[in-house]
Amino acid sequence: MTFLDMLRDATARNHSLLCVGLDPDPAKFPTHWRGDAGKIFDFCAAIVDATADLVCAFKPQIAYFAAHGAEGQLEKLMGHIRAVAPHVPVILDSKRGDIGSTAEQYAKEAFERYGADAVTLSPFMGFDSVTPYLQYEGKGAFLLCRTSNPGGDDLQAQTLADVPGQPTVFEHVARLAQGPWNLNGQLGLVVGATRPQEIERVRAVAPTLPLLIPGVGAQGGDAVATVRAAQGGPMVINSSRAILYASAEADFAQAARAAAMATRTQLNAASLPA
């Protein structure tokens, strides 16, 4: 199955638009594991086990593993997800953006070493930075398009005077991803949940692309506004901290499940006709 096939299947099977982001910070682990980077796999595996039937995807953020020398634990976690939730796609959040042989190595890392189904990429260096990932048949690639951080305005919101229609940079990225760059139907876009009006603009430009939307929960994104802005095409709505750290005690996995279930219910309600 391709990444898009897996995403559609998991969305339907689990009745879910929710992606759980796996951003393991040992400083925030439950009291009995607090500060122990050796427990990254155990923590994430417990979250996966508790939420696997509630999500459309998992999204491990590679920096949280690499910073602690825990790449081996990430490999083990990827295998664990395959074992307990083989129908749930895994998006490796790496935000790579290099070109040439370096990009080829990053693609090999994501898809061969870790076995990810999709990755996040920065398109700043152009199509050259995307093509090595598209060589992997059936894999997905989400391009950073309109992010939630304040500094995103520095580039993404600027108008391109020399492009027909004078779109913003983020609208131009969406057009490229919907059109000439999407050679094999593998591309999606990353848009932040805290800007629902701009999610609508991205969706208008890219009606068929899957949108990966971080920022619901601890980052303040409104779930209802997010879903309604992204309707019309596939969406993957990510929540990390609000689920991972729903409890600081031994019941953290049960608390994560409860938080994920509540978020899934909220997202599903928002997707119904008003």
Among 178-182, 189-193, 215-219, top mean pLDDT goes to: 178-182
Annotated catalytic residue within 28, 95, 108, 139: 95
Give pLDDT tens digits for 103-121: 999 999 999 999 999 999 9
Tell me how far apart the 2 most distant CA atoms of the chain are, in Å. 58
Name the average pLDDT for the chain: 94
Q: How confident is the model at residue 11 (pLDDT cuts 50, 70, 90)?
A: very high
Domain hosting residue 237, numbered range: 3-270
Q: In the chain, how many domains are there? A: 1
Q: Is the pLDDT of residue 251 over 90?
A: yes
CATH number at residue 89: 3.20.20.70
For 188, the 3-state DSSP assignment is strand
Q: 70: which 2 tokens? A: 């825990």
Element (H, E) at 146: strand 140-146
Instruction: Establish whether 39 is a catalytic residue.
Output: no
